[in-house]
């Protein structure tokens, strides 16, 4: 039973490490939020201080790029949050299931051992009865060991969606709608602010999602 509890604790720790990956991803997204807010503050300050400053146009173009980068980063955070939350609690639930099933096996054999204990009352001065169930007890232990060895998980391990790429975004081709929406958003903002950012150059085509957080830990 102690070994079952040790295994259960280990699986819970793996679940906790998986959840930490959400925190690490959010930490990597924070700079894009800060950069976007900083540029917006600079624009607001210039418009109040010098509405005709040519730097406003430059800052608005930088804001479009910052918003595009933040848009991708937020999508990555959403994807990894959903995936890792599901994975972590799948591990947790599987650990609970394994623990309960193994404890049920052990409890069944424990009852067999308890039945071998002679609890018949004795009178004062009577000789201590000889215990004659050593062979039976060993058989119980062997049966328990054999059944525990044959135990297999009744549930499958969680497998993350194959539609999500290593950059935490839909694989190009399957996630074309998301990419199209991102490009339209960037283009529309550029037109409104008078400074169109080149989103369709060679680099953009070869790297559809330039933002790729590097702080993801791998659960072991």
What per-residue confidence (pLDDT) applies to 176?
Answer: 45
Is residue 75 exposed (0-12), middle (13-18) or buried (19+ Cβ within 10 Å)? buried
pLDDT at 91 over 70: yes
Cα(157)–Cα(87) distance, rounded to whole angstroms?
9
CATH, domain 2-117+137-206, list 1.10.1240.10, 1.25.40.10, 1.20.1270.60, 3.30.470.10: 1.20.1270.60
Which residue ranges make up each domain of the chain? 2-117+137-206
Distances (CA, A) of 162 to 45, 169, 171, 215: 46, 11, 9, 21
pLDDT at 196 over 90: no
pLDDT in tens, 21-79: 999 888 888 999 999 999 999 999 999 998 888 899 999 999 999 999 999 999 989 99
Question: Do residues 95 and 8 make contact, with C-beta atoms less than 8 angstroms apart?
Answer: yes
């Amino acid at each position: 039973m102690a070994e079952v509890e040790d295994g259960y604790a280990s699986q819970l720790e793996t679940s906790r490490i998986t959840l930490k990956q959400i925190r690490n991803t959010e930490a990597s997204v924070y700079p894009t939020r800060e950069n976007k807010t900083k540029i917006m503050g600079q624009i607001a300050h210039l418009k109040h201080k010098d509405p005709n400053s040519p730097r406003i146009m430059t800052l608005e173009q930088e804001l479009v790029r910052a918003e595009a980068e933040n848009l991708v980063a937020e999508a990555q955070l959403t994807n990894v949050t959903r995936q890792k939350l599901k994975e972590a609690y799948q591990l947790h639930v599987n650990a609970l299931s394994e623990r309960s099933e193994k404890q049920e096996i052990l409890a069944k054999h424990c009852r067999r051992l308890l039945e071998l204990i002679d609890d018949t009352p004795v009178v004062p001065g009577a000789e201590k009865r000889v215990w004659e169930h050593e062979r039976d007890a060993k058989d119980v232990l062997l049966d328990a060991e054999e059944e525990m060895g044959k135990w297999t998980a009744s549930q499958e391990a969680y497998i993350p969606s194959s539609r999500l790429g290593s950059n935490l975004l839909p694989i190009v081709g399957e996630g074309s709608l998301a990419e199209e929406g991102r490009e339209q958003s960037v283009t529309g903002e550029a037109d409104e602010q008078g400074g169109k950012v080149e989103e369709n150059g060679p680099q953009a085509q070869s790297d559809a999602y330039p933002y790729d957080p590097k702080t993801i830990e791998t659960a072991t």
